[in-house]
Amino acid sequence: MEIKSVSTTNTRAIFESQQRTALQLKKSGTSERIARLQKLKQTIIKYVERTVKALHDDYKKPIEESNEMDYVIGEIDFITAYLESWMKPQTVDTPEAINALAGTTGTSKIISEPKGVCLFITPWNYPFLLTFRPLISCLAAGNTIMIKPSELTPHSSAVIKQIVEDAFPEDEVAVIEGGAEVASKLLALPFNHIFYTGGSRVGKIVMRAAADHLASVTLELGGKNPAILDDSADFGDAAGKIAWGKFFNCGQTCIAPDYVLVSENRKEEFIATMKGTMEAMYGNEGPGTDNPSYARLVNANHYHRVKNLLEESVSSGGKIIAGGKTDDSENYISPTLLENVTSDHAIMKEEIFGPVLPVMTYSSLNDAIDYVNKGDRPLAVYVFTKDKVTSDLIINNTTAGGSVVNHVIMHYFSPFLPFGGVGNSGIGKGHGHFGFLDFSNQRPVLEL
């Protein structure tokens, strides 16, 4: 499926129209913003079946993993319920020293105003969820938005464009399809805020472009997310949750556990448990290319990158315990468990973003903590333990975008928790009130 390129003239014209509309939306009230969100919700409901088909057409994503719009609709309902209170000016104290200096009694408040025209550059791994969930926050904050969806999932990008065009005029929300050259054209425009989801390499390009216009940014990146198990952990429970989080969407999830750290004296027990869990999920031979419930890697480039990481690790002493089957014609890699991996292996130097799970060992929890801290700050740290002292020790001595104790990924689904990275795994926080704040300027007003 071919995506047509967009001229610089067209993108600038849309941008300028959105600048004018942004000035009007700045004055919009709660009811007007909720009406826009409700229009989006009804449009999304109308297109749900097309989103599922598009995901399958792009990389054979199974229907069991294609309910992205459920979470989008849930976010609309959540924000709609709270938006009125979020939009109210927040009254704060005025110091007596200011009153004395001014010779009068002042009042202080904080108002949340829209940032203006925002650019979204969104990813391919969950194209609908990771486009529309932040879009909801951005709309709630009163902004206009231009969206550049990923060219790697063209069927999904086409449906995203259809939904947006059905729900909004172009001067409020517009979708601009295309590849890197289109992204470059858009990044040259003086947006007020840029929201990017993807890898850290492109994230740095986005941040440099934003600097030219001093635009604020939200970067949702990724990283090597460890799952740390202590000796008290329930291995059967942990293995099931780690396998689900790791192999869902063929491992193409930014908050999937990227590797496991387990103590040396329980390594073999964990490996046996994990292998048994994988066999129960996929059979002794793995899901196979005929299994409609297992996705593919998104394209040949990504497939060969992950395959090369696996092969390099094996050639350097790594050992495949389960899985390891590949099919070049299908971009297929079966769920794979890997041991005898060291920090020198390429697979431990970059985010895998595929269905390969290395298992590493530690001699003490402090060693595990030190290993995590030697790398870039991850998007998530997962801890499996029955001992709260252990979970507190690990969480208090590491830094991550988020953490879950005795599960993986689940923090993403709570609208009450902020979601985002730290350092190399991202900048800014989203979801619920945190997303509203991220797309708003907190403007102080002192009246004397």
| Catalytic positions, written as ranges | 220, 254
Q: Which residues pair with 447 in a beta bridge?
A: 107
Nearest to 108 by CA among 88, 93, 86, 87: 93
DSSP 8-state assignment for residue 294: S
What φ, ψ does residue 347 adopt, rounded to 5°? Answer: -65, -20
Show the 3-state SS of 113-142.
Answer: EECCEEEEECCCCCCCHHHHHHHHHHHHCC
Pairing of strands 380-384, 402-405: parallel
d(CA 288, CA 326): 9
Helix (H) or strand (E) holding 200: helix 200-212
| Token couple for 43 | 């449009």
Q: How far apart are CA 412 and CA 418, in angstroms?
A: 8
The residue behind tokens 């604020």 is 216
Beta strand pairing call for 226-229 and 259-263: parallel
